[in-house]
Structure 1
Amino acid sequence: MIRTRFAPSPTGYLHIGGVRTALFSWAFARKHAGTFVLRIEDTDLERSTPESVKAILDGMQWVGLAHDEGPFYQTHRFDRYKAVIQDMLAAGTAYHCYCSKEELDQMRAEAEARGEKPRYDRRWRPEAGKVLPTPPADVQPVVRFRNPLEGVVAWDDAVKGRIEISNQELDDLIIARGDGTPTYNFCVVVDDWDMGITHVIRGDDHVNNTPRQINILQALGAALPVYGHLPMILREDGQKMSKRRDAVSVVEYATMGILPEALLNYLARLGWGYGDAEFFTMDQFVEWFSLEGVSPSPSRFDKEKLLWLNAQHMKAADDNRLADLVAPRLADKGIGVDHGPALAAVISLVKERVQDLNALAGQCDYFYQKRTPSAEETAKHLDEASAARMKRFAAKLAALDSWTAESIHTLFKPFCEEEGIKMGQLGMPLRVTVCGTTQTPSIDAVLALIGKEAVLQRMA
């Protein structure tokens, strides 16, 4: 049984890189009829906040990546971690270290002075025939993992291929702090072991953690999961994304008017592909997805491509659903939709013209409230002659028995022939008069939706 997990730390918002990790883990589990676990890694007690936990849960719900188990919280599992640490101390795979901060700082300084990598010198590590110092009474010991001194840690990464790291590059990792709280790398290992995680799919910023975690798992006699490390998402210029310069929180994309399925579609294409497919549903993605299809190289974020995909998903979306998303945006502008055409019908007419929900709301507003035309549009299209012409055309509209786009359209040609004008000389002043803008879909369809009474009132 395939079991994957998404394990964010609640120290901020849900990052789009995290969403892609969650997406790939979710899709792999769905592809193999497995289980997708949500785990909150909140052992960083100083930085983890309830607000961040809520942001993660809300973000996962918004994008629609439903978990099968969880959310599990590491802070609720401290007793389990402490029990495993006691077992390791008894087995000799972990030991107490009484080094003070000053001693560790001195080790680091001396190593740097020698041009070596700073590391703990293992002075408290028990060895056969070794005499350990007397434990100081005023130091609360940490617990360190007894890392192997020889050999290599090797694994066949599902994305990056074969990776080997010498154990001589790894020090004896602290697995419990002086106050008894367990550390991140240790908790991850116990969680993956207890939860039966078969595939760990995560960002490649965790590659350096993997050999340490593998060694701890082996010391516990646990089966190793398959690891797959996803490459980073970079800016268009190849630089690392930053919350100061870029929209990196899923909340920001919701505010920008991006549909969740469009964001997932786009993130799926960042570092993964299936032939030439660009626009697809999540059902199709699950069917096509494989870790072998993930590129080991970083991907660059292209906002224009995201907007293009969003436009495609808006065109495919149900108009009533879009109406539910657009109505609050209109309300924020002080525009109600209760007295006017059905918003879903308006959206059906205008959604081909835009790429996000905010722009869609902007295309809907004049159906409920006439815009104030710009001075440029007024000067270009409304003069005394066109104003008089609008009154004459309003009389034609008022005489219509049937108020449909088709019946309105039948008035255009004969009226233009009577007036000796081209259609543009009727259509543009009509748009400015009724809508307050020249940028509309077919004017007969627009007038039909606004309604006879409202159109005549605006033209009066």
Structure 2
Amino acid sequence: MTVKTRFAPSPTGYLHVGGARTALYSWLYAKHNKGEFVLRIEDTDLERNSQEAVDAIMEGMEWLGLEWNEGPYFQTQRFDRYNEMVDRLLAEDKAYKCYASKELLDEVRAEQEANKEMARYDANHPKIKAVNEAAKDGDPCVIRFRNPTEGSVVFEDQIRGRIEISNSQMDDLIIRRTDGSPTYNFCVVVDDWDMEITHVIRGEDHINNTPRQINIYEALGAPVPTFAHCAMILGDDGAKLSKRHGAVSVMQYRDMGYLPEALNNYLVRLGWSHGDQEIFSQEEMIEFFSLNAISKSASAFNTDKLLWLNNHYIKTSAPEHVAKHLQWHLDQQALNIENGPAITQVIKLVGERCNTLVELAEQIRYFYEDFSEFEAGAAKKHLRGVAKEPLEAALAKVEAIEEWTTENLHQMIADVCADLEIGMGKIGMPLRVAVTGGGQSPSVDAVMQLIGQERCVARIKMALAFIAEREANA
């Protein structure tokens, strides 16, 4: 048997974090078992669907690298198939027409609640029975599935263990609406059957749907997939993850400067573990992933941990890979990197200091663009009269360097210290502010090497002019 999983979002909004984790788990299980992964868009909610949401889901899946083997399938393109199966159930008396109006059903429900009975559809209720018996062909009706009335539905959830639901707790759900459109619970079953889905991995909010769907699989003579229901993701305050906790859309994390590998690594650990290991390559995730290692308990989202992981991936990923994802942020910040050092060299030098790609893009601007002002606090502290002589000495040596290497720049700084009998801080910080415009950067010799000789000379001269003007105005 080929293992086949599916991710089946509804296109009513963006791809959220919970959905992305479900997709990741489904994808990993298929890959672990050398199976196939299907993308299916469950777009039967015609009023709430949008093409924008479809595009957002696809963009999120592609950004995360969760490639599908089949699809995307769209349920709205399969209505003929669903209706064929509804008609078959009607012919086999496993489904029936119901003519009761919404108003009548509300009235019956109110009666049941008043009598402290379970509020549910009851085909044998006298009022409903009378309406159905009096109806004529052509009257508006829904089609209801004839749910078994005896026994229970029992299934072995791969995460939660044995689950049993009595058939008496389930009513005859609608499988085709009065407008002729099939409903979610029915479409899902037909799709899983036709697409040969063997394992359904989804959120715990679907547990109540599962016994209903199992009864439909069996009525159709379709194989019943194996189910695994994942616990929800909570915010760090213990409440269900929502917009008020920050970003919940996958693409918002792209916008905030996260690498997809970092988010995947973080999501896989939100409910799954392999010993005490925290960092997983994609290959390791595929190798180690199993459904029985998923926790039954809800997981809490921790942004600090995600930031830590993101910093790890920025530091350890190939600079070319980081550069590919950084480019979007460079475009957002209107930073042109054509006039400057190779971006991969800059990433190697600056990347380990940054938790996000947004920070990285912000911190590398001085490599590519000249500035007209120094950061006020850094200039006030380090571009003072006492820095004039060290900067002048450094300028003379910088202009004289013939081979522009980090080693020669390191020696230049050491020589200034020796010549003037000063400590490294007396020249290092003024030089850093002069060439970068601020007080924070990696090692100043390596920074100067990438900035280039011409720019460094011009910036040191600008710093000296700043000191001279400051002294004149004192």
Confirm or deny a common fold (TM above 0.5).
Answer: yes
State the shift of 1:431 in Å: 0.7
Q: Evaluate the alpha carbon distance shift between residue 407 and residue 70 of structure 1 in structure 2; reply closer, same or farther with a 3 A threshold.
A: same
Aligned 8 A contact 1:8 1:39 in 2: yes
Secondary structure, in 3 states, of the residue corresponding to 2:427? helix
Render the CA deviation track for 1:385-407: whole Å, top value 9, x for unaligned: 31343122101111111110101
Partner SS for 1:153: strand
| TM-superposed deviation, 1:87 | 0.6
User: Would you say the 8 A contact 1:143–1:174 is kept in 2?
Assistant: yes
TM-score (norm. length: structure 1): 0.96
Give the structure 2 partner of residue 442 of structure 1. Answer: 443
Q: Secondary structure at the match of 1:19?
A: helix
What is the TM-score when the length of structure 2 is the normalising length? 0.93
Cα deviation code 1:68-112 (max 9, x no counterpart): 011111001100111101110010100000001110110121122
Partner of 1:291 in structure 2?
A: 291
Question: Match of 1:119?
Answer: 120
Structure 2 CA distance for aligned equivalents of residues 246 and 386 of structure 1:
45
Which has the larger displacement, 351-360 or 363-372?
Answer: 363-372
Structure 1 unaligned blocks of 5 or more: none
Contact 1:370–1:436 (Cα < 8 Å) also in 2: no
Q: CA deviation at 1:121?
A: 1.7
Task: Report matched runs for 1:242-257 at 5 Å.
Answer: 242-257=242-257
Match of 2:375 in 1: 374
CA distance in 2, matches of 1:272, 1:173: 34
CA deviation vs aligned residue, 1:342-378 (integer Å, no higher than 9, x gap): 1110111111111111111122111122453332211
Deviates more, 1:109-118 or 1:16-25: 109-118
SS of alignment partner, residue 133 of structure 1: helix
Task: List aligned pairs for 1:389-408, cutoff 5 A.
Answer: 389-408=390-409
Counterparts of 1:40 and 1:284, CA distance in 2:
29
Aligned match of 2:205: 205
Corresponding residue SS for 2:134: coil
* Contact 2:99/2:131 (<8 A) preserved: no
TM-aligned CA distance change 1:331 to 1:20, over 3 Å: closer
Q: Aligned partners of 2:146, 2:330: CA distance in 1, in Å?
A: 62
The amino acid across from 1:355 in the alignment is N
Alignment-derived partner of residue 304 in structure 1: 304
1:211, 1:121 → 2: CA distance?
18
- Which letter does structure 1 place at the counterpart of 2:230? L
Query: Which residue number in structure 1 is paired with residue 155 of structure 2?
Result: 155
The one-letter amino acid of 1:358's match is V
| Residues 131 and 185 of structure 1: CA distance in aligned 2, closer, same or farther (over 3 Å) | closer
User: Deviations 1:203-222 (Å, cap 9, x if unpaired)?
Assistant: 11000000000011111111
SS of structure 1 residue aligned to 2:97: strand
Partner of 1:329, secondary structure, is helix
> Does structure 1 residue 93 correspond to structure 2 residue 103?
no
1:299-358 CA-partner distances (Å, limit 9, x unpaired): 000111111111111122121222233244234334321111111101111111111111
Distance 1:140 1:85 in 2: 16
Q: Give 1:265 shift.
A: 0.7
- Alpha-carbon offset, residue 114 of structure 1: 2.0
Counterpart of 2:432 in structure 1 is: 431
Instruction: Work out whether residues 234 and 298 of structure 1, in 8 Å CA contact, stay in contact via their aligned partners in 2.
Output: yes
Query: Contact (CA 8 Å) 1:330, 1:365: kept in 2 or not?
Result: no
Task: Report if aligned partners of 1:198, 1:225 keep a CA contact under 8 Å in 2.
Answer: yes
Amino acid at match of 1:295: S
Q: Give SS of 1:159's match.
A: coil
The secondary structure found in structure 1 opposite 2:164 is strand
Q: How far apart are 1:158 and its partner, in Å?
A: 0.4
Note if contact 2:170-2:212 (Cα within 8 Å) is conserved in structure 1.
yes
The structure with the largest helix share of the pair is 2
Show structure 2 runs of 5+ residues with no match. Answer: 462-474
- Structure-1 separation of matches of 2:202 and 2:120: 27
User: 1:240-279, aligned counterparts within 5 Å?
Assistant: 240-279=240-279
Count of paired positions: 457
